[in-house]
Amino acid sequence: MKHLVFAHRGASKQYAEHTRAAFLQALAEGTDGVECDVHLTEDLELVCIHDPTLDRTSSGTGDVGDHTLRQLRELDFASWKGANIPPQYGGVADQLLTLEELIELLRGDGRELELAIELKHPSPFGLKLEERLIAFLMREGYDPETSRLANLHISFMSFNPDSVRHLLERVPSDVVCQLVADVHPEDVRETLGPLTAAAVMNLLRRALHEGERIIASGAVGIAGPGIEYVRAHPERVKRWLAAGLRVRVWTVDTDDDVDFLRELGVQEITTNRPAHVLRRLKGEPTTGRL
């Protein structure tokens, strides 16, 4: 079986996630594809950032959606990682990427590549995020029948069932991925406090159950569980595979997890360490340490 390896926010074990350096490194390592997250800026530009806020991965603070692209360009998205960026990967000021710039990098590689785009919710712009994304891709020459753009095969992912249903009306179902992850109350309480956490927990549980129903119904072509979810529910994942679904698992960084998923029959692996996982799948020597 041919396994597809997606670089999770680029080669983000080595360089800061979603940066030019991380994606260029992933391409240099021969990844089959890349995964990115998109948010809208205040001026409705699509940018490759995971969190709804800037605090964790930049020198800025506050919500992504409260900043224009020009304001984001003034921030440092790379130095927090502490990695030295080679000159060929650009300077610190070059590391933030719009989706347009990421696609330009991928098209420049020339190889046939997979691009998995995750739409991040909740978004202050609601489903306008999906509309702006599809409109942008169409302007770039995206073919909605084949889900291709030049050398790129594009798939769409979200944890949000409303987002997934919205995408299913606009792109082929076989390139739509419903993401799922178990909800851990302790993580939510630690972040939000007991009262707010209870309300959020209910929303997350409803979204998870609805997402599982969407997968089980065969409405989407790709199931996107996290590695912890797969280990907790292997029989469920086997049923998805038996039903003909592709399963794309995140975030897979250890040899044990790669071996487990290969034995299970999972076809697609998302990792922060693309070169390492590619070597493991080929049976070449690796070190399992992070």
Report how far residue 157's alpha carbon sits from residue 249's, in angstroms, rounded to the nearest whole number: 12
Q: Does residue 50 have an active-site annotation?
A: yes
Q: What is the DSSP string of 107-176?
A: HHH-S-EEEEEEEPSS-TTTTHHHHHHHHHHHHHT-BTTTTEETTEEEEEEES-HHHHHHHHTTS-GGGE
First to last CA, the chain: 26
Catalytic: which of 8, 39, 67, 166? 8
Q: Does residue 67 have an active-site annotation?
A: no
Report how far residue 274's alpha carbon sits from residue 278's, in angstroms, rounded to the nearest whole number: 6
As to burial, measured by CB atoms within 10 angstroms (0-12 exposed, 13-18 middle, 19+ buried), residue 55 is exposed
Catalytic: which of 18, 39, 50, 67? 50
Q: List residues with catalytic annotation.
A: 8, 50
